[in-house]
Amino acid sequence: MWSEVRPPTTTQVREAFGTEVGELRAHPGGFEADAFTDGRWFVKLWRQQPDSDAALALTVELAARGVPVPAAQRALDGSYTAEHLGRRYAMFPFVEGRPATENDTEAIAWAMRAVHDIAGLVLPRTEIDEWCIEALRDRYDHPWLDGRRDEVMAGVDRLEAVIERARAIDVPHVVCHHDLFPHNVLVDRDGRVAALVDWGTALLAPREHDLFVALCEPGTVRFLQAYGAERLDLTHLEYARLARSLRDLAVRIRDEVDLEGINTWGFDGLRRVDADLVLARPFCDV
C-alpha cells in the first residue's frame, strides 16, 4: 500500500535532536506512519499530518505520572518533530513488547481505567464534531461506494442525529486516548501493559469515547467488567462507536488507500453497531 522509505540518517538525528542513534531499521508501522528502530530509539515518520507538539508533550506528562507511555524527545529547536523527506518524524524510547491481542482484554481495560483516573491534566475538550460527515457527503459518488451509497448516507444521517443528542447530555470528561485498540498497546512477557502509544487524538472527553473500543473487539463484556464500567451513557457510546466506523470508511475513500479496509474497518463495523450497543446496555444508565 505504501512505498518503502529510508529512515533519517544518524547525522540528521544528531543535528535535529542531539541524540546518537545506531543503524535505524524498518519496524512495523501503521496506517498513518512508517517506523524505524535501532533497538534503543523508536522513530515515527508520519505520512501526512504529524501529531501536534501538544499531543507529543502529553506523552512526557503521562510518563512522568507513571503511565506506561514512551515520552517523545524534544528536538534542539524546542519542538518535538523534525523533517525528513518532506515529512515530520519524532523520537521515542524503544519499548520491547508484543502487540496486544484479544487475549489481553483485561490488561487493556485496566490501563484505560488508570488513564481515566488521572486528574489535573490541561487538555482541549472534545467538541463532538465529525469531519467524516462532510467528507462522505462530498464523495457520495465515489466508485468504491457503488451499490452501498444509501447505506453510507443512512449512517451519516444517523451520526448527525446522535451528535445533536450527545451534545445535550452532560457527562464527566476524562483524559481520552480515542484509539486504544490492541494495535496501540504493547504487552510484556508477563501479559502486563508495557506501552500505550499514539496519543495524537487525545482530548478531555466522555469516558464512553474511549470505551467504545470494547464494542469493536471480541470480549466486550469482559472488557467492560475489567474496567469497572457502570452508569455509562448509551448515547455517547453510540456516537463513538458509529463515528469510528464512518471515519474508517471516510479516510480510505478520501485518500484512496486500502480498498479492502473499506469492508473490514468500515462496512463490517457499521453493520454491527446496534448489536454491539445491545452488549453494552447492561453497563449503561438507561
Please count the structural domains in the chain.
2
Q: Is residue 25 part of a domain?
A: yes
Q: What is the pLDDT of residue 286?
A: 65
Cα–Cα dist 146/129, whole Å: 27
Q: Is residue 63 part of a domain?
A: yes
The answer to whether residues 123 and 255 belong to one domain is yes
CB 136 within 8 A of CB 142: no
283 DSSP 8-state letter = G
Instruction: Point out the residues of the chain with pLDDT beneath 70.
Output: 1-3, 286
> Nearest-CA neighbor of 210 among 169, 188, 187, 243?
243
- Whether this prediction's pTM lies above 0.85 is answered by yes
The answer to whether residues 115 and 70 belong to one domain is no
The answer to whether residues 83 and 108 belong to one domain is no
Q: Is residue 3 part of a domain?
A: no
Cα–Cα dist 252/60, whole Å: 31
Question: Residue 81 belongs to a domain with what CATH number?
Answer: 3.30.200.20
Domain holding 68, by residue range, is: 10-94
The answer to whether residues 135 and 226 belong to one domain is yes
Please report which helix (H) or strand (E) contains residue 204, including its range. strand 203-206
Cα–Cα dist 214/199, whole Å: 18
Give pLDDT tens digits for 51-106: 999 999 999 999 999 999 999 999 999 999 999 999 999 999 999 999 999 999 99
Q: What is the pLDDT of residue 3?
A: 53
Q: Is residue 4 part of a domain?
A: no
The answer to whether residues 76 and 171 belong to one domain is no
Q: Is residue 42 part of a domain?
A: yes
Q: Is residue 1 part of a domain?
A: no
